[in-house]
A and B are shown apart, each in its own frame.
Chain A
Amino acid sequence: MSVLDFDYMLGLVPILLSYLPLTLAMAAAGMVLALVLACGLAVIRVLGIPGLNGATLLFISFFRGTPLLVQLFLFYYGLPQVLAFLTQIDGITATIMGLTLHFAAYMAESIRAAIVGVDRSQTEAALSIGMTNGQLMRRIVLPQATRVAVPTLMNYFIDMIKATSLAFTLGVTELMGATQKEAAGSFLYFEAFITVAVIYWGIVELLAWCQRRLEWRLNEAYRR
Protein backbone atom coordinates (compact mmCIF):
# COMPACT_ATOMS: atom_id res chain seq x y z
CA MET A 1 0.00 0.00 0.00
CA SER A 2 1.41 3.33 -1.03
CA VAL A 3 1.47 6.37 1.21
CA LEU A 4 0.73 9.88 -0.15
CA ASP A 5 3.63 11.33 -2.13
CA PHE A 6 4.06 14.55 -0.14
CA ASP A 7 7.07 15.76 -2.06
CA TYR A 8 5.12 15.56 -5.29
CA MET A 9 2.23 17.44 -3.70
CA LEU A 10 4.47 20.20 -2.34
CA GLY A 11 6.12 20.57 -5.72
CA LEU A 12 2.71 20.78 -7.36
CA VAL A 13 1.50 23.68 -5.20
CA PRO A 14 3.52 26.48 -6.87
CA ILE A 15 2.75 25.08 -10.33
CA LEU A 16 -0.99 25.05 -9.63
CA LEU A 17 -0.92 28.43 -7.88
CA SER A 18 0.44 30.00 -11.06
CA TYR A 19 -3.00 29.27 -12.59
CA LEU A 20 -4.87 30.78 -9.66
CA PRO A 21 -4.86 34.34 -11.11
CA LEU A 22 -6.84 33.14 -14.14
CA THR A 23 -9.36 31.36 -11.92
CA LEU A 24 -9.79 34.42 -9.73
CA ALA A 25 -9.91 36.79 -12.69
CA MET A 26 -12.75 34.81 -14.29
CA ALA A 27 -14.64 34.75 -10.99
CA ALA A 28 -14.07 38.47 -10.38
CA ALA A 29 -15.15 39.44 -13.89
CA GLY A 30 -18.19 37.16 -13.63
CA MET A 31 -19.07 38.62 -10.23
CA VAL A 32 -18.83 42.26 -11.30
CA LEU A 33 -20.87 41.70 -14.46
CA ALA A 34 -23.40 39.51 -12.63
CA LEU A 35 -23.84 42.16 -9.93
CA VAL A 36 -24.55 44.88 -12.48
CA LEU A 37 -27.00 42.69 -14.37
CA ALA A 38 -28.64 41.42 -11.17
CA CYS A 39 -29.19 44.98 -9.88
CA GLY A 40 -30.88 45.88 -13.14
CA LEU A 41 -33.09 42.79 -13.03
CA ALA A 42 -33.93 43.38 -9.37
CA VAL A 43 -35.00 46.97 -10.02
CA ILE A 44 -37.21 45.80 -12.92
CA ARG A 45 -38.81 43.26 -10.57
CA VAL A 46 -39.25 45.73 -7.69
CA LEU A 47 -40.83 48.36 -9.92
CA GLY A 48 -42.78 45.69 -11.81
CA ILE A 49 -42.13 47.37 -15.17
CA PRO A 50 -44.70 45.84 -17.53
CA GLY A 51 -43.26 43.70 -20.32
CA LEU A 52 -39.73 43.82 -18.93
CA ASN A 53 -40.96 42.16 -15.76
CA GLY A 54 -42.18 39.12 -17.70
CA ALA A 55 -38.96 38.88 -19.71
CA THR A 56 -36.97 39.10 -16.47
CA LEU A 57 -38.98 36.30 -14.89
CA LEU A 58 -38.37 34.11 -17.95
CA PHE A 59 -34.64 34.88 -17.88
CA ILE A 60 -34.39 34.08 -14.17
CA SER A 61 -36.41 30.90 -14.55
CA PHE A 62 -34.24 29.63 -17.43
CA PHE A 63 -30.86 30.37 -15.89
CA ARG A 64 -31.83 28.95 -12.52
CA GLY A 65 -33.61 26.00 -14.08
CA THR A 66 -30.78 24.60 -16.20
CA PRO A 67 -27.33 23.29 -15.18
CA LEU A 68 -24.42 25.71 -15.50
CA LEU A 69 -22.52 23.10 -17.51
CA VAL A 70 -25.32 22.96 -20.07
CA GLN A 71 -25.30 26.77 -20.29
CA LEU A 72 -21.51 26.81 -20.81
CA PHE A 73 -21.71 24.24 -23.61
CA LEU A 74 -24.55 26.21 -25.13
CA PHE A 75 -22.44 29.38 -25.26
CA TYR A 76 -19.18 27.73 -26.29
CA TYR A 77 -20.32 25.12 -28.80
CA GLY A 78 -23.86 26.17 -29.63
CA LEU A 79 -23.93 29.93 -30.06
CA PRO A 80 -21.18 30.16 -32.71
CA GLN A 81 -23.33 27.94 -34.94
CA VAL A 82 -26.24 30.36 -34.89
CA LEU A 83 -24.47 33.70 -34.45
CA ALA A 84 -21.80 34.06 -37.09
CA PHE A 85 -19.89 36.88 -35.34
CA LEU A 86 -19.25 34.57 -32.37
CA THR A 87 -17.08 32.10 -34.27
CA GLN A 88 -14.11 33.37 -32.32
CA ILE A 89 -15.59 32.87 -28.85
CA ASP A 90 -12.90 31.46 -26.59
CA GLY A 91 -13.35 29.33 -23.51
CA ILE A 92 -12.58 32.12 -21.08
CA THR A 93 -15.15 34.48 -22.60
CA ALA A 94 -17.76 31.74 -22.72
CA THR A 95 -17.08 30.88 -19.07
CA ILE A 96 -17.40 34.50 -17.92
CA MET A 97 -20.60 34.83 -19.94
CA GLY A 98 -22.07 31.67 -18.45
CA LEU A 99 -21.09 32.58 -14.89
CA THR A 100 -22.52 36.08 -15.36
CA LEU A 101 -25.91 35.03 -16.63
CA HIS A 102 -26.27 32.03 -14.33
CA PHE A 103 -25.35 33.83 -11.13
CA ALA A 104 -27.15 37.06 -12.09
CA ALA A 105 -30.37 35.05 -12.15
CA TYR A 106 -29.81 33.92 -8.56
CA MET A 107 -28.47 37.23 -7.29
CA ALA A 108 -31.34 39.22 -8.78
CA GLU A 109 -33.79 37.47 -6.49
CA SER A 110 -31.64 38.04 -3.39
CA ILE A 111 -31.24 41.71 -4.21
CA ARG A 112 -34.95 42.10 -4.89
CA ALA A 113 -35.83 40.46 -1.57
CA ALA A 114 -33.36 42.72 0.25
CA ILE A 115 -34.84 45.88 -1.29
CA VAL A 116 -38.41 44.82 -0.59
CA GLY A 117 -37.40 43.89 2.96
CA VAL A 118 -36.51 47.45 3.98
CA ASP A 119 -39.17 48.63 6.39
CA ARG A 120 -41.83 50.52 4.42
CA SER A 121 -42.30 53.12 7.14
CA GLN A 122 -38.76 54.39 6.54
CA THR A 123 -39.69 54.97 2.93
CA GLU A 124 -42.65 57.06 4.04
CA ALA A 125 -40.50 58.95 6.52
CA ALA A 126 -38.00 59.79 3.78
CA LEU A 127 -40.76 60.93 1.43
CA SER A 128 -42.42 62.91 4.21
CA ILE A 129 -39.35 65.11 4.67
CA GLY A 130 -39.31 65.83 0.94
CA MET A 131 -36.76 63.37 -0.43
CA THR A 132 -37.12 62.33 -4.06
CA ASN A 133 -37.40 58.66 -5.00
CA GLY A 134 -33.76 58.67 -6.10
CA GLN A 135 -32.54 60.17 -2.83
CA LEU A 136 -34.66 57.70 -0.90
CA MET A 137 -33.12 54.77 -2.78
CA ARG A 138 -29.53 56.00 -2.55
CA ARG A 139 -29.50 57.15 1.05
CA ILE A 140 -31.98 54.94 2.87
CA VAL A 141 -33.09 51.83 0.99
CA LEU A 142 -29.98 50.62 -0.84
CA PRO A 143 -27.58 50.94 2.13
CA GLN A 144 -29.92 48.81 4.21
CA ALA A 145 -30.62 46.36 1.40
CA THR A 146 -26.87 45.98 0.91
CA ARG A 147 -26.44 44.89 4.47
CA VAL A 148 -29.07 42.20 4.00
CA ALA A 149 -27.84 41.08 0.59
CA VAL A 150 -24.08 41.05 1.15
CA PRO A 151 -23.82 37.73 3.03
CA THR A 152 -25.84 35.96 0.33
CA LEU A 153 -23.92 37.65 -2.46
CA MET A 154 -20.64 36.62 -0.86
CA ASN A 155 -21.90 33.05 -0.83
CA TYR A 156 -22.62 33.29 -4.54
CA PHE A 157 -19.11 34.64 -5.12
CA ILE A 158 -17.68 31.64 -3.28
CA ASP A 159 -19.87 29.36 -5.40
CA MET A 160 -18.69 31.17 -8.48
CA ILE A 161 -15.01 30.59 -7.68
CA LYS A 162 -15.69 26.89 -7.42
CA ALA A 163 -17.81 26.97 -10.59
CA THR A 164 -14.88 28.37 -12.61
CA SER A 165 -13.47 24.84 -12.49
CA LEU A 166 -16.04 23.93 -15.16
CA ALA A 167 -14.05 26.10 -17.59
CA PHE A 168 -11.66 23.18 -18.05
CA THR A 169 -14.42 21.39 -19.98
CA LEU A 170 -14.17 24.25 -22.51
CA GLY A 171 -10.43 23.68 -22.84
CA VAL A 172 -9.35 26.49 -20.53
CA THR A 173 -6.25 25.71 -18.52
CA GLU A 174 -7.16 27.26 -15.20
CA LEU A 175 -6.63 25.76 -11.76
CA MET A 176 -8.63 22.61 -12.47
CA GLY A 177 -7.42 22.22 -16.07
CA ALA A 178 -3.81 22.54 -14.92
CA THR A 179 -4.34 19.89 -12.24
CA GLN A 180 -5.88 17.56 -14.80
CA LYS A 181 -2.81 17.94 -17.04
CA GLU A 182 -0.33 17.44 -14.20
CA ALA A 183 -2.16 14.36 -12.99
CA ALA A 184 -2.28 12.87 -16.46
CA GLY A 185 1.50 13.25 -16.68
CA SER A 186 2.36 11.82 -13.27
CA PHE A 187 -0.49 9.34 -12.84
CA LEU A 188 -0.66 10.53 -9.22
CA TYR A 189 -4.35 11.38 -9.52
CA PHE A 190 -5.15 11.22 -5.84
CA GLU A 191 -2.27 13.50 -4.83
CA ALA A 192 -3.00 15.97 -7.61
CA PHE A 193 -6.70 16.30 -6.90
CA ILE A 194 -6.32 16.40 -3.15
CA THR A 195 -3.82 19.23 -3.64
CA VAL A 196 -6.16 21.25 -5.81
CA ALA A 197 -9.03 20.55 -3.43
CA VAL A 198 -7.00 21.99 -0.56
CA ILE A 199 -6.17 25.07 -2.64
CA TYR A 200 -9.87 25.71 -3.41
CA TRP A 201 -10.72 25.06 0.22
CA GLY A 202 -8.09 27.55 1.41
CA ILE A 203 -9.39 30.28 -0.89
CA VAL A 204 -12.96 29.68 0.21
CA GLU A 205 -12.01 29.77 3.89
CA LEU A 206 -10.11 33.01 3.36
CA LEU A 207 -13.17 34.53 1.70
CA ALA A 208 -15.46 33.22 4.42
CA TRP A 209 -13.26 35.01 6.95
CA CYS A 210 -13.51 38.25 4.93
CA GLN A 211 -17.26 37.72 4.77
CA ARG A 212 -17.55 37.52 8.55
CA ARG A 213 -15.47 40.69 8.99
CA LEU A 214 -17.58 42.53 6.44
CA GLU A 215 -20.84 41.42 8.02
CA TRP A 216 -19.62 42.55 11.38
CA ARG A 217 -18.89 46.01 10.00
CA LEU A 218 -22.18 46.22 8.12
CA ASN A 219 -24.10 45.29 11.25
CA GLU A 220 -22.60 48.13 13.23
CA ALA A 221 -25.83 50.13 13.16
CA TYR A 222 -27.90 47.24 14.41
CA ARG A 223 -26.03 46.12 17.49
CA ARG A 224 -27.71 47.02 20.73
Chain B
Amino acid sequence: MIKVANLVKRFGDTTVLDGIDLEIEQGEIIVVIGPSGTGKSTLLRCLNFLERPDAGRLTLGDLDVDVTRATKADILAARRRTAFVFQNYALFANKTALENIAEGLIVVNRWPKAKAHARAREILERIGLADKADAYPASLSGGQQQRVGIGRAMAAQAEVILFDEPTSSLDPEWVEEVLALMKRLAAERQTMLVVTHEMGFARDVADRVVFMEGGRIVEQGPPSQLFNAPRDPRTRDFLRKVLAAQPAVST
Protein backbone atom coordinates (compact mmCIF):
# COMPACT_ATOMS: atom_id res chain seq x y z
CA MET B 1 0.00 0.00 0.00
CA ILE B 2 1.10 3.53 -0.71
CA LYS B 3 0.25 6.42 1.50
CA VAL B 4 1.07 10.10 1.18
CA ALA B 5 0.22 12.31 4.14
CA ASN B 6 0.24 16.10 4.19
CA LEU B 7 2.81 16.38 1.41
CA VAL B 8 4.08 19.92 0.92
CA LYS B 9 6.44 21.21 -1.77
CA ARG B 10 7.53 24.79 -2.29
CA PHE B 11 9.62 26.36 -5.03
CA GLY B 12 10.94 29.52 -3.42
CA ASP B 13 7.89 31.40 -2.17
CA THR B 14 5.31 29.49 -4.17
CA THR B 15 3.66 26.50 -2.59
CA VAL B 16 3.16 24.00 -5.38
CA LEU B 17 1.85 21.12 -3.25
CA ASP B 18 -0.23 22.34 -0.37
CA GLY B 19 -0.83 19.33 1.87
CA ILE B 20 -1.63 16.33 -0.34
CA ASP B 21 -3.18 13.24 1.26
CA LEU B 22 -3.51 10.18 -0.91
CA GLU B 23 -3.81 6.46 -0.34
CA ILE B 24 -3.36 3.88 -3.05
CA GLU B 25 -4.29 0.23 -2.57
CA GLN B 26 -2.27 -2.53 -4.15
CA GLY B 27 -3.54 -3.09 -7.68
CA GLU B 28 -5.41 0.20 -7.81
CA ILE B 29 -5.31 2.39 -10.92
CA ILE B 30 -5.51 6.08 -10.13
CA VAL B 31 -5.68 8.85 -12.70
CA VAL B 32 -4.78 12.40 -11.72
CA ILE B 33 -6.31 15.22 -13.74
CA GLY B 34 -6.23 18.97 -13.36
CA PRO B 35 -5.27 22.24 -15.01
CA SER B 36 -1.74 23.01 -16.10
CA GLY B 37 0.67 24.18 -13.40
CA THR B 38 -1.36 22.61 -10.63
CA GLY B 39 1.40 20.41 -9.26
CA LYS B 40 0.53 17.04 -10.82
CA SER B 41 4.05 16.40 -12.11
CA THR B 42 5.52 17.72 -8.89
CA LEU B 43 3.42 15.25 -6.88
CA LEU B 44 4.75 12.31 -8.93
CA ARG B 45 8.31 13.63 -8.76
CA CYS B 46 8.09 14.00 -4.98
CA LEU B 47 7.02 10.36 -4.64
CA ASN B 48 10.40 9.18 -5.85
CA PHE B 49 12.41 12.16 -4.67
CA LEU B 50 13.22 13.67 -8.04
CA GLU B 51 12.04 16.67 -6.06
CA ARG B 52 12.70 16.89 -2.36
CA PRO B 53 9.39 17.58 -0.56
CA ASP B 54 9.34 20.18 2.22
CA ALA B 55 7.02 18.29 4.53
CA GLY B 56 4.95 15.15 4.71
CA ARG B 57 5.03 11.46 5.36
CA LEU B 58 5.52 8.81 2.71
CA THR B 59 4.66 5.12 3.04
CA LEU B 60 5.70 2.78 0.26
CA GLY B 61 5.17 -0.84 1.25
CA ASP B 62 7.50 -1.47 4.18
CA LEU B 63 9.19 1.91 3.83
CA ASP B 64 7.76 4.65 6.00
CA VAL B 65 9.57 8.00 6.20
CA ASP B 66 9.13 11.57 7.24
CA VAL B 67 10.28 13.16 3.97
CA THR B 68 12.20 15.94 5.71
CA ARG B 69 14.31 13.33 7.50
CA ALA B 70 14.79 10.98 4.55
CA THR B 71 18.36 9.73 4.36
CA LYS B 72 20.20 8.81 1.17
CA ALA B 73 19.31 5.18 1.87
CA ASP B 74 15.62 6.08 2.31
CA ILE B 75 15.65 7.94 -0.98
CA LEU B 76 17.20 5.00 -2.84
CA ALA B 77 14.69 2.71 -1.16
CA ALA B 78 11.80 4.94 -2.24
CA ARG B 79 13.11 5.00 -5.79
CA ARG B 80 13.36 1.22 -5.86
CA ARG B 81 9.73 0.98 -4.78
CA THR B 82 8.51 3.35 -7.47
CA ALA B 83 9.09 3.46 -11.21
CA PHE B 84 8.67 6.50 -13.41
CA VAL B 85 7.45 6.83 -16.98
CA PHE B 86 8.41 10.21 -18.41
CA GLN B 87 6.52 12.39 -20.84
CA ASN B 88 9.57 12.57 -23.13
CA TYR B 89 10.49 8.85 -22.66
CA ALA B 90 13.99 9.70 -21.32
CA LEU B 91 15.50 6.47 -22.62
CA PHE B 92 19.24 6.03 -22.22
CA ALA B 93 20.48 7.06 -25.65
CA ASN B 94 23.64 4.99 -25.42
CA LYS B 95 21.78 1.75 -24.72
CA THR B 96 19.62 -0.53 -26.84
CA ALA B 97 15.97 -1.22 -26.05
CA LEU B 98 17.01 -4.44 -24.32
CA GLU B 99 19.75 -2.69 -22.33
CA ASN B 100 17.41 0.12 -21.31
CA ILE B 101 15.10 -2.42 -19.73
CA ALA B 102 17.88 -4.53 -18.20
CA GLU B 103 19.95 -1.61 -16.89
CA GLY B 104 18.20 -1.21 -13.54
CA LEU B 105 18.20 -4.96 -12.90
CA ILE B 106 21.95 -5.11 -13.50
CA VAL B 107 23.05 -1.93 -11.76
CA VAL B 108 20.46 -1.45 -9.03
CA ASN B 109 19.29 -5.00 -8.28
CA ARG B 110 22.72 -6.48 -9.09
CA TRP B 111 21.36 -9.31 -11.19
CA PRO B 112 23.82 -11.22 -13.38
CA LYS B 113 23.74 -9.83 -16.89
CA ALA B 114 22.40 -13.00 -18.48
CA LYS B 115 19.47 -13.20 -16.07
CA ALA B 116 18.69 -9.49 -16.52
CA HIS B 117 18.75 -9.83 -20.30
CA ALA B 118 16.49 -12.86 -20.16
CA ARG B 119 13.97 -10.86 -18.10
CA ALA B 120 14.32 -7.89 -20.45
CA ARG B 121 13.52 -10.19 -23.39
CA GLU B 122 10.36 -11.39 -21.64
CA ILE B 123 9.32 -7.79 -21.14
CA LEU B 124 10.09 -6.87 -24.74
CA GLU B 125 7.84 -9.76 -25.72
CA ARG B 126 5.05 -8.39 -23.53
CA ILE B 127 5.35 -4.87 -24.91
CA GLY B 128 5.41 -6.21 -28.46
CA LEU B 129 8.94 -5.12 -29.30
CA ALA B 130 10.82 -8.42 -29.28
CA ASP B 131 12.19 -7.62 -32.73
CA LYS B 132 13.58 -4.28 -31.55
CA ALA B 133 15.77 -5.68 -28.76
CA ASP B 134 18.98 -4.40 -30.32
CA ALA B 135 17.62 -1.12 -31.65
CA TYR B 136 18.86 2.13 -30.14
CA PRO B 137 16.27 4.74 -29.07
CA ALA B 138 17.20 7.07 -31.95
CA SER B 139 15.95 4.48 -34.43
CA LEU B 140 12.59 3.87 -32.69
CA SER B 141 9.32 5.74 -33.21
CA GLY B 142 7.94 7.83 -30.36
CA GLY B 143 5.40 5.15 -29.55
CA GLN B 144 8.03 2.44 -29.51
CA GLN B 145 10.31 4.56 -27.32
CA GLN B 146 7.54 5.13 -24.81
CA ARG B 147 6.72 1.42 -24.75
CA VAL B 148 10.37 0.76 -23.93
CA GLY B 149 10.06 3.46 -21.25
CA ILE B 150 7.13 1.54 -19.80
CA GLY B 151 9.09 -1.71 -20.15
CA ARG B 152 11.91 -0.18 -18.14
CA ALA B 153 9.40 0.72 -15.42
CA MET B 154 7.89 -2.80 -15.54
CA ALA B 155 11.33 -4.34 -15.00
CA ALA B 156 11.72 -2.48 -11.73
CA GLN B 157 8.87 -4.49 -10.16
CA ALA B 158 7.99 -1.42 -8.18
CA GLU B 159 5.09 -1.02 -5.75
CA VAL B 160 3.69 1.56 -8.14
CA ILE B 161 4.42 2.87 -11.62
CA LEU B 162 4.14 6.65 -11.88
CA PHE B 163 3.14 7.90 -15.34
CA ASP B 164 3.60 11.60 -16.08
CA GLU B 165 1.60 12.40 -19.21
CA PRO B 166 2.98 9.36 -21.04
CA THR B 167 1.22 10.18 -24.31
CA SER B 168 1.51 13.98 -24.37
CA SER B 169 4.69 14.14 -26.49
CA LEU B 170 3.53 11.51 -28.95
CA ASP B 171 2.36 12.10 -32.47
CA PRO B 172 -1.35 11.18 -32.54
CA GLU B 173 -0.64 8.03 -34.56
CA TRP B 174 1.34 6.49 -31.66
CA VAL B 175 -0.99 7.36 -28.76
CA GLU B 176 -3.23 4.31 -29.10
CA GLU B 177 -0.46 1.70 -28.87
CA VAL B 178 0.86 3.26 -25.68
CA LEU B 179 -2.60 3.53 -24.11
CA ALA B 180 -3.27 -0.08 -25.12
CA LEU B 181 -0.15 -1.23 -23.29
CA MET B 182 -1.17 0.76 -20.22
CA LYS B 183 -4.61 -0.83 -20.34
CA ARG B 184 -3.03 -4.28 -20.43
CA LEU B 185 -0.96 -3.42 -17.35
CA ALA B 186 -4.09 -2.15 -15.65
CA ALA B 187 -5.88 -5.39 -16.47
CA GLU B 188 -3.01 -7.26 -14.79
CA ARG B 189 -3.65 -5.08 -11.72
CA GLN B 190 -0.32 -3.31 -11.82
CA THR B 191 -0.64 -0.45 -9.33
CA MET B 192 -0.50 2.78 -11.33
CA LEU B 193 -0.67 6.49 -10.66
CA VAL B 194 -1.25 8.21 -13.98
CA VAL B 195 -1.25 11.92 -14.78
CA THR B 196 -2.93 12.33 -18.14
CA HIS B 197 -5.18 14.52 -20.22
CA GLU B 198 -6.65 11.43 -21.91
CA MET B 199 -10.12 11.56 -20.38
CA GLY B 200 -11.20 8.45 -22.27
CA PHE B 201 -8.45 6.48 -20.59
CA ALA B 202 -9.42 7.89 -17.20
CA ARG B 203 -13.05 6.94 -17.70
CA ASP B 204 -12.37 3.43 -18.99
CA VAL B 205 -9.44 2.33 -16.90
CA ALA B 206 -9.24 4.24 -13.62
CA ASP B 207 -10.58 2.83 -10.39
CA ARG B 208 -10.44 6.33 -9.01
CA VAL B 209 -9.95 9.75 -10.55
CA VAL B 210 -8.28 12.51 -8.57
CA PHE B 211 -8.89 16.12 -9.53
CA MET B 212 -6.14 18.53 -8.43
CA GLU B 213 -6.08 22.28 -8.54
CA GLY B 214 -3.76 24.82 -6.93
CA GLY B 215 -1.62 22.20 -5.23
CA ARG B 216 -4.53 20.47 -3.53
CA ILE B 217 -6.77 17.51 -4.17
CA VAL B 218 -10.15 19.11 -4.78
CA GLU B 219 -12.22 16.01 -5.35
CA GLN B 220 -11.77 12.31 -6.00
CA GLY B 221 -13.96 9.36 -6.76
CA PRO B 222 -14.77 6.62 -9.22
CA PRO B 223 -14.79 7.89 -12.81
CA SER B 224 -18.56 7.43 -13.14
CA GLN B 225 -19.15 9.78 -10.22
CA LEU B 226 -16.42 12.28 -11.00
CA PHE B 227 -17.24 12.62 -14.68
CA ASN B 228 -21.03 12.38 -14.44
CA ALA B 229 -21.73 14.06 -11.13
CA PRO B 230 -18.78 16.19 -10.06
CA ARG B 231 -19.45 17.82 -6.71
CA ASP B 232 -17.06 20.73 -6.72
CA PRO B 233 -17.67 23.68 -9.06
CA ARG B 234 -13.95 23.75 -9.94
CA THR B 235 -14.14 20.14 -11.10
CA ARG B 236 -17.22 20.91 -13.17
CA ASP B 237 -15.55 23.93 -14.67
CA PHE B 238 -12.39 21.97 -15.58
CA LEU B 239 -14.34 19.04 -17.04
CA ARG B 240 -16.51 21.34 -19.12
CA LYS B 241 -13.40 22.82 -20.71
CA VAL B 242 -11.53 19.58 -21.41
CA LEU B 243 -14.56 17.61 -22.51
CA ALA B 244 -15.42 20.37 -24.96
CA ALA B 245 -11.98 19.75 -26.45
CA GLN B 246 -12.39 15.94 -26.33
CA PRO B 247 -16.05 15.36 -27.25
CA ALA B 248 -15.50 11.63 -27.76
CA VAL B 249 -15.75 10.98 -24.03
CA SER B 250 -18.43 13.48 -23.07
CA THR B 251 -21.22 10.96 -22.77
Listed in ascending order, the chain A residues whose CB lies under 8 Å from chain B are 119, 121-122, 124-132, 135, 139-140, 143-144, 147, 220-224
Cβ–Cβ contact B136 & A222, under 8 A: yes
Tell me the minimal C-beta distance from B163 to chain A in angstroms.
Answer: 12
Question: Given A121-B90, A144-B94, A221-B93, does the pair A127, B79 have CB atoms closer than 8 Å?
Answer: yes
For the complex, what is the distance from the CA of A129 to the CA of B152, rounded to whole Å? 9
- B79's partner among A129, A135, A140, A223 (CB-CB below 8 A) is A129
Tell me the minimal C-beta distance from B75 to chain A in angstroms.
Answer: 9
For the complex, what is the distance from the CA of A127 to the CA of B75, rounded to whole Å? 10
Cβ–Cβ contact A128 & B93, under 8 A: no
Question: Given A130-B79, A132-B76, does the pair A125, B107 have CB atoms closer than 8 Å?
Answer: no
* Interface hub of A129, A220, A221 (most chain B Cβ within 10 A): A129
Question: Given A121-B88, A222-B138, does the pair A128, B79 have CB atoms closer than 8 Å?
Answer: yes
Cβ–Cβ contact B93 & A130, under 8 A: no
Cβ–Cβ contact B108 & A131, under 8 A: yes
- B50's partner among A124, A143, A220, A224 (CB-CB below 8 A) is A124
Chain A residues, Cβ within 8 Å of B76: 130, 132
B101-135 CB contacts (< 8 Å) to partner A:
103-104, 107-108
Chain A contact surface mostly: helix
For the complex, what is the distance from the CA of A125 to the CA of B86, rounded to whole Å? 8
Chain B residues, Cβ within 8 Å of A122: 90-93
Answer yes or no: B251 CB below 8 A from chain A CBs. no
- Report, as a range, how many residues of chain B touch the other chain: 20 to 34
20 contacts between A and B (CB under 8 A): A119-B90, A119-B93, A121-B86, A122-B91, A125-B92, A125-B152, A128-B48, A128-B79, A128-B83, A129-B79, A129-B84, A129-B152, A130-B156, A132-B76, A139-B107, A144-B94, A147-B94, A221-B95, A222-B93, A223-B138
- A129's partner among B93, B94, B136, B156 (CB-CB below 8 A) is B156
For the complex, what is the distance from the CA of A127 to the CA of B90, rounded to whole Å? 12
Answer yes or no: B57 CB below 8 A from chain A CBs. no
Cβ–Cβ contact A125 & B84, under 8 A: yes
Question: Given A221-B138, A222-B136, does the pair A130, B92 have CB atoms closer than 8 Å?
Answer: no
Chain B residues, Cβ within 8 Å of A130: 76, 79-80, 104, 108, 156
Tell me the minimal C-beta distance from B191 to chain A in angstroms.
Answer: 16
Cβ–Cβ contact B90 & A129, under 8 A: no
Tell me the minimal C-beta distance from B28 to chain A in angstroms.
Answer: 21
Tell me the minimal C-beta distance from A1 to chain B in angstroms.
Answer: 59
Kindly report which residue of chain A lies nearest to residue B88, judged by CB atoms: A121
Answer yes or no: B139 CB below 8 A from chain A CBs. yes
Tell me the minimal C-beta distance from A145 to chain B in angstroms.
Answer: 10
Kindly report which residue of chain B lies nearest to residue A147, judged by CB atoms: B94
Chain A residues, Cβ within 8 Å of B103: 129, 139
Chain A residues, Cβ within 8 Å of B136: 220-223
* Interface hub of B91, B94, B103 (most chain A Cβ within 10 A): B94
